[in-house]
Structure 1
Amino acid sequence: MFGPTLRKTMIAALAVAAATAAKAETINVTYVAGHPPVFRWVRLANEVFIPAVNKQLEGSGHTINWDEQYGGSLAKVGDELEAVEEGLAEIGGISSVFDPAKLSLQNVTYYTPFVSSDPNLVVETIDALHETNEAMLSTWEENGLEYLGGPIAIDDYILMTTFPVNSIEDLKGKKIGAPGPAVNWLEGTGAVGVSGNLTTYYNEIKTGVYDGVIVFATAALPGKLHEVAPHITRIGFGAQYAGAIAANKDWYDGQPEAVQKALKDAADTYKAAYLDDLDKAVTASFKAMQEQGATISDVDAEFRQKWAAGMDNVAKKWAAQVDSEGKAGTEILKAYLDAIRAAGGEPVRNWDQE
């Protein structure tokens, strides 16, 4: 029907068209986070993770059209996991600290306070456990998620109150807000622990619902908590792993290999940028709050030891509960603390060895 020359021309044209179509392939992706962009883990998703994915995909024939849904526009704090699991978003910054039942193993750091104030050590240890222990990955997969990485590191938790804290006895009867499992840290102090989160702390302190909160400096400053709770006490509760970036597993499994690789590589880029940014921000946050009228005090080793010793062994209780659910609570507790000690960390209390 067609001559050889025309056939060759048509074949070449079709090849060019196919290549062009491949290059023009666009994948629509919604990224969700319950917190607003004023917080590091959300801001750097926009500034680092998404650009890193885009750069990685250059020349691959795949591009992503991003829809960023932050600050409760699609999911509230603690609801990100469900939003991604149900496919309302393809990727999200998952706050494991607010999903202690579904992501129980990821919350091991929140049940082991007074272990390390170094956020790099804490989150690198947990991130590494995802590579060496299948149980860590299984908790994500059970919820229909693919762990991408990019752990959310939280700097050393502090106590911010409307009143000065000179002794543990000063906390008796006071209402203290804390995130999820961190409410357990108040056991034995006489304080009344109330579960809360950063998006509501300011108003709850201002209106007298709380007398103070357990929080961290780099979130306290942008949240302006020092305006309503100007007494800052550095207890040494410890740095924490509070979540990570994850994708809907069915969606992820259906993506081209180049896209899968780009997402995980970008999560590593995000982690490095996050830890660098966090390190610089901690000192700056304390300096700024002090300059704006906050009073900062540090407790001594005796105070810290007394607080830790006065608590029930929340870690062992947590591990036993998780074990009873058919998950590796005791195994992960030991693996985490062994890794911390092996890296030079010196827990105030060796929760796993009692």
Structure 2
Amino acid sequence: MNMKHLFVAATMLGTAFAMPAAAQQSITVNIGSSHPEANIWVWAMKNVFQPEVDRLLAEKGEYKVNWVEAYGGTLYKFTDTREAVRDGIVDVGMVGTVWEGATMPLQNVTYFTPFATSDHLLLIDIFDRLSDELPELRDSWAEQNMVHLSSLITDSYDVYANFEIDTLADLQNRKINAPGTSANWLRDTGATPIDGALTTYYTNIQTGVSEGALSFASGILPTRVYEVAPKLTRVGIGAMYFGGIAVNKSFFDGLPADVQAVFRAAGKETSRRHGAYVTDKANTAITEMQAAGLEITELSAEEKRKWVSNLPNIVEPWLETGGDAAKTVLKAYFAALREAGVEPLRDWDAGL
């Protein structure tokens, strides 16, 4: 190498040392839940949302997240998911709107319209879109100082119990765990609804507080409720929009625009993969629980029709309380179902 080449090389080397690469800015995000990581909703947060945020930010190169995790109810229980995100106990969290009938009633439209659809993938698509586009839903999150990022759903609800159910008469004088608004599904069946959550069902049934639970396969398997409620009756109440992964709005508004966009994109990807995960978990859960002794029967079509037709107009009080906003949400939800070719077992939107 001649002297000219040595001079150029030394100059380039000196320039490299003089201009260090821009360091990534670190953003601390507190993320948490009331349920453990084995739960289908928390799985989506831990295994999709967090790594997807990391991946998308790494592509841009300017920011990175320092995650502070508080899963499994270490900071708050299932009754406090809304307050935890709203008040900034966590920046991002699982919000179970099923437990928020008084403060977030619009999000509970599926729980007031049972026997509508068992297609949980369709529910995700519908509520991701409506939560973004329908002012009534979007603004109700904002009023709670939250931004909805990703829809969380259940597979179809059925009855897990320690007794057999062949007809509606078998529910007479039985105590069934039915959280929040799902208690409405037992109206005029003769059963008594008992409040609770997946985290309490096992102990409730084991100790006689209840004799069964209205729930779904992907939630029952990891909580091992089938050990104390070994009889599953498929009644087809349907899949439900449970709530969402949400971010504290004050925190979100303070994030750089690029990071906000990444949070939203990661939320959409989380919805997609959450749906696929629930499909897989629901299918494998039944197989595993049957191998462990779960007995499965199907309620007859006649008894299902009797169940849904005998229910009082449980959506009416919800509509009266919610006013025009509730009517708008219900019409939009049922219009989306029918556009997808779904015919609900009962037209809860009749007359609107």
Superposition TM-score, scaled by structure 2 size: 0.92
Which residue is equivalent to 2:122?
121
Which position in structure 2 is the counterpart of 1:180? 180
Aligned residue among 315, 328, 331 for 2:328: 331
Residue in 1 aligned with 2:337?
Answer: 340
1:185 to partner: Cα distance? 0.2
Matched to 1:347, the amino acid is: P
User: What is aligned with 2:216?
Assistant: 216
> Following TM superposition, by how much is the alpha carbon of 1:96 offset from its aligned partner in structure 2, in angstroms?
1.1
Instruction: Write the letter of the residue equivalent to 2:82.
Output: L
One-letter amino acid of the structure 2 residue matched with residue 66 of structure 1: W
- Mapped to 2, the partners of 1:14 and 1:240 lie a distance apart of 58
Distance in structure 2 (CA, Å) of the matches to 1:288 and 1:247:
35
SS at match of 1:35: coil
Deviation at 1:13, TM superposition (A): 9.8
Question: Is the partner of 1:146 in helix, strand or coil?
Answer: strand
Inter-partner Cα distance in structure 1 for 2:227 and 2:62? 50
Runs of 4+ in structure 1 over 3 Å off: 12-17
Shifted more, 159-168 versus 24-33: the winner is 24-33
**Percent of residue pairs identical:** 37
2:289 aligned residue: 289
Q: Which amino acid aligns with 1:27?
A: I
Q: Is the 8 A contact 2:24 2:61 kept in 1?
A: no
Distance 1:65 1:337 in 2: 41
Q: Is 2:238 the counterpart of 1:241?
A: no
CA contact (8 A) 2:124 2:275 kept: no
1:33 corresponds in structure 2 to 33
Aligned 1:166-177 pairs, distance under 5 A:
166-177=166-177
SS in 2 for 1:122: helix
- Which residue pairs with 2:70 in the alignment? 69
Query: What is the deviation of 1:299?
Result: 1.5
The answer for the alignment partner of 2:103 in structure 1 is 102
What is the aligned partner in structure 2 of residue 351 from structure 1?
A: 348
User: After superposition, where does 1:1-354 map in structure 2 within 5 Å?
Assistant: 16=19, 20=22, 23-58=23-58, 59-148=60-149, 150-323=150-323, 328-353=325-350
Tell me if the contact between 1:102 and 1:139 (Cα under 8 Å) persists in the aligned partners.
no
**Structure 1 vs Structure 2 CA RMSD:** 1.7
Task: Give the letter for the 1:185 counterpart.
Answer: W
2-side partners of 1:130 and 1:222: how far apart? Answer: 29
* Deviation for aligned residue 1:15: 9.1
Secondary structure of 1:328's partner?
helix
Bigger shift: residues 138-147 or 58-67: 58-67
Report SS of the residue matched to 1:169.
helix
AA at the equivalent of 1:330: K
Q: Is the 8 A contact 2:124 2:153 kept in 1?
A: yes
1:238 & 1:51 partners in 2: Cα distance?
31
Distance 2:198 2:329 in 1: 28
Deviation at 1:261, TM superposition (A): 0.9
CA contact (8 A) 1:104 1:139 kept: no
> Which residue identity lines up with residue 214 of structure 1 in the other structure?
L
Q: How far is 1:44 from its partner?
A: 2.4
Matched AA of 2:146: L
Shift of 1:32: 1.5
SS of alignment partner, residue 28 of structure 2: strand
Contact residue 160 and residue 232 of structure 1 kept, 8 A: yes
Matched residues in 2 for 1:154 and 1:328: separation? 24
How much does 1:264 deviate?
A: 0.8
Contact 1:146 1:248 (C-alpha < 8 Å) held by counterparts: yes
Please list every run of 5 or more consecutive structure 2 residues that lacks an aligned counterpart in the other structure. 1-14
Tell me the secondary structure at the aligned position of residue 345 of structure 2: coil
- Asked if 2 retains the 8 angstrom alpha-carbon contact of 1:315 and 1:333, the reply is no
SS at match of 1:65: strand
SS in 2 for 1:164: coil
Residue 99 of structure 1 and its aligned partner are, at CA, apart by: 1.4
**What SS does structure 2 have at the residue aligned with 1:78?**
helix
Residue identity in the other structure for 2:345: V
What are the superposed Cα offsets for residues 152-194 of structure 1, whole Å, 9 maximum, x if unpaired?
A: 1200001011100011011111110012110100001000011
For the residue of structure 1 that corresponds to 2:82, the secondary structure is helix
